[in-house]
Amino acid sequence: MSPVLRVDELSVQFRLGTETVHAVRDVSLRVDPGEILAVVGESGSGKTATALSVLQLNPVPPCVYAGGEIRLDDRDLLRLSEKDMRAVRGNDIAMIFQDPMTSLNPLKRVGAQVAEVLHRHQGVSRASARAAVPPALAEAGIANPELRAELYPHQLSGGLRQRVMIAMALIGRPRVLIADEPTTALDVTVQARILDLLVELAQRRDMAVMLITHDLGVVAEVADRVAVMYQGRVVEDGSVSEVFGAPADDYTARLLRATPRLERV
Amino acid sequence: MAELTVRDREGSPGKSAEPRTGAGAGLLRGIATKLGTALIVLFCVATVSFFLVRLSGDPVKLLLPPEATVEQEATLRASLGLDRPLLVQYLDYLAGLPKLDFGTSLFYDQPVAEVLFGRLPATLLLAGAAMVVCLLIAIPAGIIAALRRGRATDSGVMAGVLIGQSTPPFWVGILLILVFAVQFQVLPASGYGTFAHLILPAITLAVYSVAVIARLLRSSLIDVLGSDYIRTARAKGLGPRGVIVGHGLRNASLPVVTVIGLELGSLLGGAILTEQVFSWPGIGRLTVEAITNRDFPLVQASVLFFAAAFVVVNLLVDVSYTLLDPRVRLRS
Amino acid sequence: MTMTLAPRAGGARTGMLRAVLRNRLAAGALLVLLLMVLAAVLAPLIAPHDPNAQDLLARLRPPAWHAEGDASYLLGTDQLGRDLLSRMIYGARVSLLVGAAAALLAGTLGAIIGLVSGFLGGWLDRVLMRLADVQLAFPSILLALAIVGFVGSGLWTVVLVLGFTGWVAYARVVRSEVLSLRSREFVTEARAIGVRDRTIMRRHLLPNVLAPLATIATLHVAAAIVAEASLSFLGLGVPTDIVTWGGMLSDGQLYLGTAWWIAVFPGLALMLTSLSINVTGDALRDVADPKAYRR
């Protein structure tokens, strides 16, 4: 199967004054349709910078995409104009962020925020975009979607907000979903349900998912393959059972030892 | 398709969802509380100005020429009602306030309210025009500076802001007169009545507010543009215009709205000076005249008027704040 | 929160000055201010003429570089033949004195009210903050006008009026700082070992609010200078026998058609002073409150 998204030898730098931080160094990754790739690493390992690079959402300046390719099918996203890139965001590739409280605009009804994606990409009127919102919310596991669509983010619980984010990401039927620590900010009991939802939707839609996380438990539970990042590099990449069963890299081994509950896997 | 879940998988449906009728009732109750506070503030202002004016000297002595006889003084005092005990005068004054009865102007010999409201249109026109000028300049300037942060355009806007904030409004007026009325003779230096008369005073009054609002909008927009939900909006594929108009401006306007209310004091002060420079027949100039003429009923009423304007605008700011921000419910 | 100074604030303050000087614009502004202060202090020594001396043969003389100018009157003369430059140098004295004194008075008053209000809380806090609302609703320039108009003009009347009407900003900032400091360890410990409230406020809280206080005070000096000039311009400020920039501008407006320099130079001095102080104040704030700092 050919990957839908391929990152080849990507290098990303942040130039702060005279200092240059090499956030991502020669990183290569690939995700197939229907596959969940977990990218793990400690904070500062470059996993979020890599994820944001796919959509080119790193703040420019100071961010500089110094080298490599990001291929969606045959197109190199790094070579697209900003205008063409906008057509990709939310349409071909969607993203879910860590903190659903701050990731939703506090002053707009959640339904309108979800509808905006359709209005932007499929040229539908705001009214018919709105009509498509309740089914999308329902699919993300939100009860009473018509009522909920009219609420503001602060009126929803954390889990519901993240479901809204998921509905917003998926309403445009993207082929790739990037989820950056989607459950970190949520209650433990809610985390599992959100993960289940993501897995279920990814399978049903044959969607490629790039799941950024620092939680190896999450990886073991949902991912097909895993890439381990350390200091801006991918130090190990393979199927979950391979990597967790027999880590080839010293760092991965240490990481696994530091997570006692993984011994069950 | 998956079955439609009737209950959230999170559990209780809409536990933090606030019924919208309740929000409306809360708004009304909030306004009522704020209104009560406003009335207390105005009562304090009325009281303070009443005693301040009276403790500062005998108005009769100031009104009459020095060679006036004691009898003349007594007659005038009696005709002004100033021979009564201070407390009686005060209660009398308070009793008149709800009916907008502020007494009789010593200089114009007309009811104070009539004099005051006769000058009101000119001041409202000036303030309104200045507000329009201000928003037309400040909003684009603030947005451009925020978007071009750290570049030459931004530095230019910020330099303009600093100069605007530091320049006394009456000197701006003088310079404008010098350039447009004296040098090029394209606009009148003073007077009232036509659109041409309005231009220079409106710009003069607007300068300070332009600086304050442009600066605040810039920093507030920079804050907002760095927030997570702006990143979300960009991740949806929105362009700069969609991001700013759809998500940035309204959020960035919140602190600006608050400050507009608080800056109104400086704007009113600026109006007094602007009206003086351009001989604009508004309440500001009337007040200065009343002070020089020792027309204390008129001074009292003017002070109260300016305070009321401040209080009312801030009340409107509070209300508009709740309309702009669904998270805020008025609480006292 | 805004400030995270260590309880010992002395070292931080000298650090602040150094950081302000690192900002080239602010360093330039400080230099301008320094020159202004020097000019004001040394006025009798450096002013070329007596500011009140009238030379009726040299009335409305334009600046020296002008064809009809006179080299002895560098910036020209006013309608009574008084030297503009000398009057501006003497005018700086009033402006700086009124500005600094009013800010000092308002700052002291505001700091005390803010400390008491924030630290003691309760009904006193509510009353004081309501008082702040009332004070804000009074347009301060109007209040000043009314008081000066009725009490009579005078340098110290203006200082008192501007000082007593300017305390709200100080009080609010100090109060909110104190509210956040109140539960910090060095305060709770001091309370636990029985240190008196007054001592805690003076020894432990005051040093920690000095930085924001200094920032507001700096900006307030500029506001007070402009306010004094406004009052004097309206003829309801400092008495006309004392030279003020505002008074000069008021003369100047009458001669705009014939002698632009009378209204331009004092205004320029006023703007430059206020600008320098504002730039310095902004730099102080950027240093004292990094969160407010925007590149």
* B-C interface (Cβ pairs under 8 Å ≥ 3): yes
Among B18-32, B55-69, C10-24, C180-194, which stretch is predicted with the lowest mean pLDDT?
Answer: B18-32
Among A174-178, A183-187, B21-25, B197-201, which stretch is predicted with the lowest mean pLDDT?
Answer: B21-25
Residue of C49, A152, A224, C240 whose CA lies nearest to B14 = A152
Tell me which chains share at least 3 CB pairs under 8 Å with chain A.
B
Residue A1 pLDDT class (50, 70, 90 cuts): low
Residue pair A31/A178 in contact by the 8 Å Cβ criterion: no
Q: By the CB < 8 Å criterion, does A156 face chain B?
A: yes
Distance from CA of A156 to the nearest CA of B (A): 6
pLDDT digits (tens, 9 = 90+) for B135-189: 999 999 999 999 888 888 999 999 999 999 899 989 999 999 999 999 898 899 8
Q: Is the dihedral of CA A139, A142, A146, A148 positive or negative?
A: negative
ipTM of the complex: 0.87
Look at A147 and B250 and tell me if their CB atoms are within 8 Å: no
Mean pLDDT of chain C: 84
Q: By the CB < 8 Å criterion, does B100 face chain C?
A: no
User: Residue C141 is which amino acid?
Assistant: I
Distance from CA of B17 to the nearest CA of A (A): 5
Look up the pTM and report it.
0.83
Please tell me which residue, A264 or C191, carries the higher pLDDT value. C191
Among A187-191, B19-23, C5-9, which stretch is predicted with the lowest mean pLDDT?
Answer: C5-9
Look at A105 and B18 and tell me if their CB atoms are within 8 Å: no
pLDDT digits (tens, 9 = 90+) for C30-41: 999 999 999 999
Q: Would you state the pLDDT for residue C16?
A: 65
- Assigned token pair, B150: 């750290």
pLDDT digits (tens, 9 = 90+) for C71-97: 888 888 888 889 999 999 999 999 999
Which run of H or E residues covers position A236?
Answer: strand A233-239
Q: Would you state the pLDDT for residue C149?
A: 76
DSSP calls for B91-153 = HHHHHHGGGT---B-TTT-SBHHHHHHHHHHHHHHHHHHHHHHHHHHHHHHHHHHHHTTTSHH
Q: Taking CA atoms, what residue in A is nearest to B20?
A: A151
Q: By the CB < 8 Å criterion, does A127 face chain B?
A: no
Q: Which are the contacts of C268, defined by CB distance < 8 A and separation ≥ 6?
A: none
What is the arithmetic mean of pLDDT over A238-255? 79
Please tell me which residue, B319 or C226, carries the higher pLDDT value. C226
Which run of H or E residues covers position A211?
Answer: strand A208-213
pLDDT digits (tens, 9 = 90+) for B164-178: 989 998 999 999 999
Other C-beta atoms closer than 10 Å to the C-beta of A2 total 9
Q: Taking CA atoms, what residue in A is nearest to B2?
A: A139
Whether the pLDDT of residue A210 is over 50: the answer is yes
Tell me which chains share at least 3 CB pairs under 8 Å with chain B.
A, C
Residue of C291, A71, C23 whose CA lies nearest to B223 = C291
Please tell me which residue, C51 or B58, carries the higher pLDDT value. C51
**Residues in A touching B231 (Cβ below 8 Å):** 57, 97, 103
Please tell me which residue, B15 or B193, carries the higher pLDDT value. B193
Whether the pLDDT of residue B320 is over 80: the answer is yes
Interface test with B, best of C129, C134, C142 (most B CBs within 10 A): C142
Distance separating alpha carbons of residues B138 and B144, to the nearest angstrom? 10
**Residues in C touching B57 (Cβ below 8 Å):** 150-151
By the 10 Å C-beta count (0-12 exposed, 13-18 middle, 19+ buried), B21 is classed as exposed
Q: Which are the contacts of B182, defined by CB distance < 8 A and separation ≥ 6?
A: B189, C256, C257, C260
Whether the pLDDT of residue C209 is over 60: the answer is yes
Q: Where are the domains of chain C?
A: 11-42+82-293
pLDDT digits (tens, 9 = 90+) for B18-61: 444 445 566 677 778 888 888 888 898 889 888 877 766 666 77
E strand segments, A32-143: 36-40, 63-72, 75-76, 93-96
Please tell me which residue, C90 or B291, carries the higher pLDDT value. C90
Interface test with C, best of B147, B170, B218 (most C CBs within 10 A): B170
Q: Write the CA distances from A51 to A236, B12, C164, integer angstroms.
A: 17, 34, 57
Look at B269 and C139 and tell me if their CB atoms are within 8 Å: yes
Helix (H, G, I), strand (E, B) or coil at A160: helix
Could you report how far apart the first and last alpha carbons of chain B are, in Å? Answer: 50
Find the CB nearest B219 among C141, C226, C294.
C294
Beta bridge partners of residue A22, listed in sequence order: A13
Mean pLDDT of chain A: 84
* A-C interface (Cβ pairs under 8 Å ≥ 3): no
Q: Where are the domains of chain B?
A: 20-56+100-331
DSSP calls for C252-295 = HHHTTTT-HHHHHHHHHHHHHHHHHHHHHHHHHHHHH-GGG---
What is the arithmetic mean of pLDDT over A60-85? 84
pLDDT digits (tens, 9 = 90+) for C129-176: 888 888 887 777 888 887 887 777 788 989 998 998 889 989 999 998
DSSP label at residue A260: G
The phi and psi torsions of A223 (rounded to 5 degrees) equal -85, 150
- If one looks up domain C11-42+82-293 in CATH, what number appears? 1.10.3720.10
Please tell me which residue, C266 or B41, carries the higher pLDDT value. C266
Find the CB nearest C147 among B41, B52, B177.
B52
Residue pair A116/A109 in contact by the 8 Å Cβ criterion: no
What is the arithmetic mean of pLDDT over C20-32? 84
Q: Would you state the pLDDT for residue C15?
A: 63
What is the arithmetic mean of pLDDT over A71-83? 85
- Chain B 242-281, CB below 8 Å of chain C: which residues? 262, 265, 268-269, 272-273, 276-277
Counts for chain B of helices (H) and strands (E), in that order? 13, 0
Residue pair C136/B37 in contact by the 8 Å Cβ criterion: no
- Assigned token pair, B297: 């009923």
Interface test with B, best of A48, A103, A190 (most B CBs within 10 A): A103
Whether the pLDDT of residue C10 is over 50: the answer is no
Q: Would you state the pLDDT for residue C107?
A: 94
Residue C105 pLDDT class (50, 70, 90 cuts): very high
Q: By the CB < 8 Å criterion, does A165 face chain B?
A: yes
- Assigned token pair, B58: 């005998």
Helix (H, G, I), strand (E, B) or coil at A67: strand
Q: Taking CA atoms, what residue in A is nearest to B6?
A: A143
pLDDT digits (tens, 9 = 90+) for A29-45: 888 888 899 898 888 78
The phi and psi torsions of B86 (rounded to 5 degrees) equal -55, -40
Pairing of strands A208-213, A176-180: parallel
DSSP label at residue A29: E
Q: By the CB < 8 Å criterion, does B17 face chain A?
A: yes
May I ask the CATH architecture of the domain B20-56+100-331?
A: Orthogonal Bundle (1.10)
Helix (H, G, I), strand (E, B) or coil at A16: strand
Q: Which are the contacts of C135, defined by CB distance < 8 A and separation ≥ 6?
A: C165, C167, C168
Interface test with B, best of A114, A157, A170, A190 (most B CBs within 10 A): A157
- Chain B 225-244, CB below 8 Å of chain A: which residues? 226-229, 231-239, 242
Whether the pLDDT of residue A93 is over 80: the answer is yes
